[in-house]
């Protein structure tokens, strides 16, 4: 058995599902699949992080043309990203009692952190590189990963929004998040759900930028990851926060950049439920930090 191809989540031997061409320089990426935990991952992922996560990437002219983090950071009241911030904030309110401390892990420029702070929460972000500096210049509290060890057991809520698909070893990263949470603290992660795409994986938009999206999870995969990293996986009882999160995702897919009055008059509650039936975004579990 070739040890190099064991699943990073459950250590089961994996097989090659196919390959996908990157958008950055036409590199070919091998996608592997774990038959046990159903983790999909890019085997030969890029390690030139400074090259891929540069200013171009954050402006939407790099490895993932669907993002524009700089615009969102500079236009918080206009960008449709504001809907997502609102949805995540409402999930925080539901899952955390009182005004618990919040860390946004992999916060980018810190738009969500700023939103939380403006709504009265003691929140900081952690991030590396060009985009972190950009957020810091705007006065958003962002620390580098290397400083996280000073925050052991500090937070009531950790969010990681579209983070886990960018990293090769989810368990390692989840353990870092567990470390900074108080026992009983909440971990909320978002990412696409790979389950509806099980039989047609390569037609999923998420897979189209394998330069940066390298790990893909079904709810069962994420549950396993959470358990291994010291969390109790839980399913959401309420759909409330997902209305705005899905509203953002729909508008992003439609290449709509700015909020507007006509968007807000649409029946989003019903529309989001229909979308969620297909894409099962809300089926990904969250984690409760276990004591010890």
Q: Give CA separation, 225 vs 32, 172, 241, 250, 265, in Å.
A: 17, 10, 23, 28, 39
Give the C-alpha separation, 118 to 107, whole Å: 16
Q: How far is the CB of 20 from Zn ion (least distance, A)?
A: 20
> Is position 10 an interface residue for Zn ion (rule: CB under 5 A)?
yes
Cβ neighbourhood burial of 60 (10 Å; 0-12, 13-18, 19+):
middle
> Is position 34 an interface residue for Zn ion (rule: CB under 5 A)?
yes
Rule CB under 5 A: choose which of 24, 31, 37, 164 binds Zn ion: 37
Segment interacting with Zn ion (CB under 5 A) among 5-13, 166-174, 191-199, 269-277: 5-13
> Is position 73 an interface residue for Zn ion (rule: CB under 5 A)?
no
Q: How far is the CB of 7 from Zn ion (least distance, A)?
A: 3
> Is position 222 an interface residue for Zn ion (rule: CB under 5 A)?
no
C-alpha distance across the termini of the chain, in Å: 35
Rule CB under 5 A: choose which of 31, 32, 39, 206 binds Zn ion: 39
Q: Please, which residue, 217 or 248, has the CB nearer to Zn ion?
A: 217
Strand partners, 20: 29
Give the C-alpha separation, 181 to 225, whole Å: 16
Q: Please, which residue, 37 or 142, has the CB nearer to Zn ion?
A: 37
> Is position 63 an interface residue for Zn ion (rule: CB under 5 A)?
no
Give the C-alpha separation, 111 to 107, whole Å: 8
Segment interacting with Zn ion (CB under 5 A) among 26-34, 137-145, 150-158, 262-270: 26-34
Spatial CA neighbour of 194 closest among 65, 66, 6, 41: 41
Q: How far is the CB of 100 from Zn ion (least distance, A)?
A: 33
> Is position 40 an interface residue for Zn ion (rule: CB under 5 A)?
no
Strand partners, 158: 103, 187
Q: How far is the CB of 215 from Zn ion (least distance, A)?
A: 11
Structure tokens at 28: 């070919």
> Is position 7 an interface residue for Zn ion (rule: CB under 5 A)?
yes
Binding region for Zn ion (CB under 5 A):
7, 9-10, 12, 34, 36-37, 39
């Amino acid at each position: 058995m070739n040890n190099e191809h064991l699943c990073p989540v459950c250590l089961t031997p994996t097989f090659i599902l196919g390959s996908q061409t990157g958008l950055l320089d036409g590199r070919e990426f091998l996608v592997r699949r774990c038959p046990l935990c159903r983790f999909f991952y890019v085997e030969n992922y890029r390690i030139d992080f400074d090259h891929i996560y540069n200013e171009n990437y954050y402006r939407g002219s790099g490895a993932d043309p669907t993002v524009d983090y700089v615009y969102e950071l500079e236009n918080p009241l206009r960008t449709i990203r504001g809907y997502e911030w609102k949805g995540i904030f409402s999930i925080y309110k539901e899952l955390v009692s009182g005004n618990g401390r919040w860390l946004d892990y992999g916060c980018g420029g810190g738009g969500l952190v700023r939103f939380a702070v403006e709504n009265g929460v003691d929140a900081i972000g952690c991030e590396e590189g060009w985009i972190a500096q950009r957020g810091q210049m705007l006065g958003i509290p962002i620390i580098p990963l290397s400083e996280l060890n000073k925050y052991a057991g500090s937070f009531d809520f950790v969010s990681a929004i579209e983070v886990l698909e960018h990293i090769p070893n989810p368990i390692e990263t989840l353990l870092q998040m567990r470390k900074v949470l108080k026992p009983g603290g909440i971990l909320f992660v978002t990412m696409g759900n790979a389950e509806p795409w099980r039989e047609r994986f390569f037609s999923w938009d998420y897979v189209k930028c394998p330069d940066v999206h390298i790990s893909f999870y079904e709810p069962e995969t994420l549950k396993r990851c959470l358990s291994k990293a010291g969390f109790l996986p839980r399913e959401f009882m309420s759909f409330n926060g997902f209305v705005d999160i899905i509203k953002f995702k729909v508008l992003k897919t439609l290449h709509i950049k700015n909020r507007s009055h006509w968007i807000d008059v649409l029946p989003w509650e019903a529309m989001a439920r229909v979308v969620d039936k297909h894409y099962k975004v809300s089926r990904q579990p969250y984690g409760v930090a276990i004591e010890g």
